[in-house]
Amino acid sequence: MNYFSSQFKLGILGGGQLGKMLLNDTRKFDIHTCVLDPSNEAPCKIACNEFVQGDLMDFDTVYQFGKNVDVLTIEIENVNVNALEKLEKEGIKVYPTSKTLRTIQNKAKQKLFYVDNNLPTAPFSRFAYKDEILTAIEHQTLEFPFVWKSAQFGYDGKGVKVVKSHSDLEELPNVECITETLIPFKNELSVIVARNADGKVKIYPVVEMEFHPEANQVEYVICPARISKEVALKAELIALKASAAFKHVGLLAVEMFQTEDDDILINEVAPRPHNSGHHTIEASYTSQFEQHIRAVLNLPLGKTDSKVGGIMVNLVGAEDYTGNVVYKNIESIMAMDGVTPHIYGKKQTRPFRKMGHVTIVHENINEARRIAEEVKKKIKVISE
């Protein structure tokens, strides 16, 4: 198949920042792209060949969009899976497949998949609605504290809450959910695995994620993770085992906990480019975005080694600002060596909205972390 400067069309469901960064690489290769997104202001709009505005959860919209492309991929999991299944039956290549997405879209199904495939994960219970949790607490089959997760549509800290008391429960929506044992852990780690349709696999180095205490969002992604070789190897093997179990095509980001005893437990996975791989644009031989395109088109996979240590800082909307975005002090961070900002193109900021990221590269990861802290203090995402 000739993908380059040809009639071939790659479809992307979702037009956010992950799609925009994928498009940097499709443009590099001159691959024709079509993007579907509900927002007319989607970051992808300026960079794709064809833009369609429409609902990603609507069967007909996704089906009609998919009929016009040769290969269909995603940059967000919340899409109409029934439409994808029908497109697959009609010969359109969809990666990740509808089967993979169906499992991953629902956190209860995702957790059961780990159990069925002997993949380590925190103990959990599933509930159809909130009242069942109250009954479990009354019967002492569930104890505070625990982690509550909405089964569907959770992301970026939304749909996740640590429940310590009855009053925390009152705020939760009445939806299908899971509860997990609260695991004391040393580190949150992530490993991105790339796999093409031929089953060839490449793995990126383990990264460490530092989270914002209030927003439950990643603040820093650090590569390489500051962990022992033994723990890194354990994390890599579990990520590879998860990849083999899903038989996904494209990227699979496997988020994990390193417990106090150095066990590794899978938290959750994402079958697409991921926040924990943004540093790869500057720090790796092959960025996660180029790798995703190589994988879904069944091209040879690129080298995943890091050229240099990298740290990614998320740029999120400051707490008290809503409106037209202003990036305060951006010039002063650009004056720092090894610092590259990425602005996603969202014109409106609001508290904790992901607006961009900054990558810091340095031979010494501890020095990079120090610079990252300075970057974080200087740049502010505010409104006019």
* 46 annotated as a binding-site residue: no
CATH code 3.40.50.20 region(s) in the chain? 9-94
Question: Does the domain spanning 123-181 belong to CATH 3.30.365.10?
Answer: no
State the Cα angle at 285 between 69 and 228, rounded to 5°. 115
CATH code 3.30.1490.20 region(s) in the chain? 123-181
For the entire predicted model, the pTM comes to 0.96
* Cβ-based neighbour number of residue 96 at 10 Å: 26
Using an 8 Å Cβ cutoff, are 232 and 97 in contact? no
* 183 annotated as a binding-site residue: yes
Q: What is the pLDDT of residue 1?
A: 87
Alpha carbons 332 and 146: distance in angstroms, whole number: 42
Regions of the chain with pLDDT less than 50: none
* 86 annotated as a binding-site residue: no
The CATH number of the structural domain formed by 185-383 is: 3.30.470.20
Residue by residue, DSSP assigns 117-183 as: TT--B--EEEESSHHHHHHHHHTTSS-SSEEEEESSS-BTTBTEEEE-SHHHHHTS-SS-EEEEE--
Residue environment code for 177-198, b if the CB has 16+ CB neighbours within 10 A, otherwise e: bbbbeebebebbbbbbbbbbee
The per-residue pLDDT for range 111-152, each reduced to its tens digit, is: 999 999 999 999 999 999 888 999 999 999 999 999 999 998
Look up residue 41 and give its two tokens.
Answer: 């202001």
* 181 annotated as a binding-site residue: yes
CATH code 3.30.470.20 region(s) in the chain? 185-383
* 268 annotated as a binding-site residue: yes
* 82 annotated as a binding-site residue: no
The CATH number of the structural domain formed by 9-94 is: 3.40.50.20
Own/partner contacts of 128-132, CB < 8 Å, gap of 24 or more, are 128/176, 129/174, 129/175, 129/176, 129/177, 130/169, 130/172, 130/173, 130/174, 130/175, 130/177, 131/174
Pairing of strands 185-195, 207-211: antiparallel
The per-residue pLDDT for range 3-48, each reduced to its tens digit, is: 999 999 999 999 999 999 999 999 999 999 999 999 999 999 999 9
Q: Which of 65, 103, 99, 96 is nearest to 82 (CA)?
A: 99
- Output the CA–CA distances (angstroms, integers) from residue 129 to 152, 191, 201, in the order listed: 12, 32, 39
At 64, give phi and psi (nearest 5°). -65, -40
- DSSP-based three-state secondary structure for 312: strand
